[in-house]
A = this chain, B = another copy of it.
Amino acid sequence: MGLLVVGSVAFDSVKTPFGQAQDVLGGSATYFSVAAGFFTDVSLVAVVGEDFPQEHLRFLESRKIDLSGLERVPGKTFRWKGEYGFQLNEAKTLETQLNVFQAFRPKLPAGCRGREVVFLANIDPVLQREVLKQVEKPKLVACDTMNYWIEGRRSELLETLKLVDILIINDGEARELSREVNLVKAAGRIRAMGPKTVIVKRGEYGALLFADGEIFHAPAYPLEFVFDPTGAGDSFAGGFMGYLAKTMDFGPRNIRKAIIFGSVLASFNVEDFSLNRFKKLRWDEIKERYREFRKLTHFEDLSED
């Protein structure tokens, strides 16, 4: 039972048209864990430096996130600095300091090896595979990746994809990985690489699911105030995988519900910097927004026109 994620825990410095935040808690595994933690227990596998404050550890523990796989080593924590324009679609990375992440070789504590649902956040595909080898009997494996690995580590990434059930990537990455502009064809090619389910994230335009004989389209929630898109993709993945790990039902109907829960978590996350919105988010708000997604997309079937 349970959900395991490997990825980054980081300090982010973010500037948006609406404000800025300096050295705040961030990282793919952080957003993922906290989002997934609304649904199920999560084991977080990552590395931080000596500068990582007790305060953040205590926050993660308060969410019942298992930190036995979070290494603390000499050196500085991974740092990312980015900026968004008014369109808020894509971050411009201003600086990346890998720091302790550079020498990271994930080691799963014995207690984490029995996890049945695994999310490999966006890290080196070689490390993604090393983590997977340490999991005893995974029932569902999903992963993320990015242009950096698609361009620089293509053959390693293709090896990893063979072992993956669900790939969650954005539209530009899907096009780059498949070398195909049309998303329907792109998803077909990626499915032939291994993952039988492909979820294409399109930022403010929502997400598309491609699976056996079906396509599902989930919108993004139309927000009046998008404050900071950092972590939206990882929050989506966290809500999605958290719901699947909670229900352990990987059938097509439940996958659709999971995608909506992912979209719900992403929509809350962008309402504030860092994980600030998640810190005060309540379960009834999650359910209420799920229902709003229904209202947003519902239309009647054809009567006998």
Kindly list 14 other residue pairs between chains A and B, CB separation below 8 angstroms, not including A217-B296, A259-B299.
Answer: A86-B181, A87-B181, A182-B225, A184-B223, A184-B224, A202-B205, A205-B205, A205-B206, A206-B217, A216-B299, A219-B219, A256-B299, A257-B300, A287-B302
* A253, B299: Cα distance in complex, Å: 7
With A184-B222, A208-B222, A224-B182 already in contact, the answer to whether A294 and B290 are too (CB < 8 A) is no
* Contact (Cβ within 8 A) A296 B216: yes
Q: Decide if B299 touches A260 in the complex (CB within 8 Å).
A: yes
Q: Does A55 contact B (CB under 8 A)?
A: no
Known: A256-B299, A256-B300, A305-B287. A217 touches B216 (CB 8 A): no
| CB proximity of A179 to chain B, nearest CB, Å | 12
Chain A residues at the B interface, C-beta cutoff of 8 Å: 86-87, 181-185, 202, 205-206, 208, 214-219, 222-226, 253, 256-257, 259-260, 287, 290-291, 293-302, 305
A208: chain B residues at CB < 8 Å are 222
Please state if A219 and B217 are interface contacts (CB–CB under 8 Å). yes
A145 to B60: give the CA distance in the assembly, Å. Answer: 51
Contacts of A256 in B (CB 8 A): 298-300
